[in-house]
Amino acid sequence: MAGFGVANERLRALEELEREIGASLQSAGLVILELSKEKPQERHLDRQCAQFGAAVAKVEAELSAQIRYLTQVSPQGGFGGSQVGLGCPR
């Protein structure tokens, strides 16, 4: 039953990734909102841009880790195993 522990951990990581994507979109929205003002506050823009950059970097790193994991556990090495799961021809 150790497989369920790994699967649950992967699901938790994907849920965290989903939250991080939401946070990055929120930061991007706040940057756009600030830029749409007649007199945007540079300090506020800098802070929101930094938050957006950090969120995007975290998402990128986690997605890369997920892809690496999937390529390691795929029965065909690479993404062939996931194509079979999607009903795609081999």
Of 26, 57, 31, nearest to 44 by C-alpha is 31
Q: State the pLDDT at residue 6.
A: 80
Q: How many domains does the chain have?
A: 1
Q: State the pLDDT at residue 33.
A: 92
Of 30, 50, 51, nearest to 40 by C-alpha is 30
- Establish if 90 belongs to a structural domain: no
Range of the domain at 25: 2-85
**pTM, rounded to two decimals:** 0.67
- Establish if 18 belongs to a structural domain: yes
Q: State the pLDDT at residue 88.
A: 46
Residue 24 reports pLDDT greater than 60? yes
Residue range 63-76: average pLDDT? 84
Mean pLDDT, all residues of the chain:
81
Residue range 51-76: average pLDDT? 87
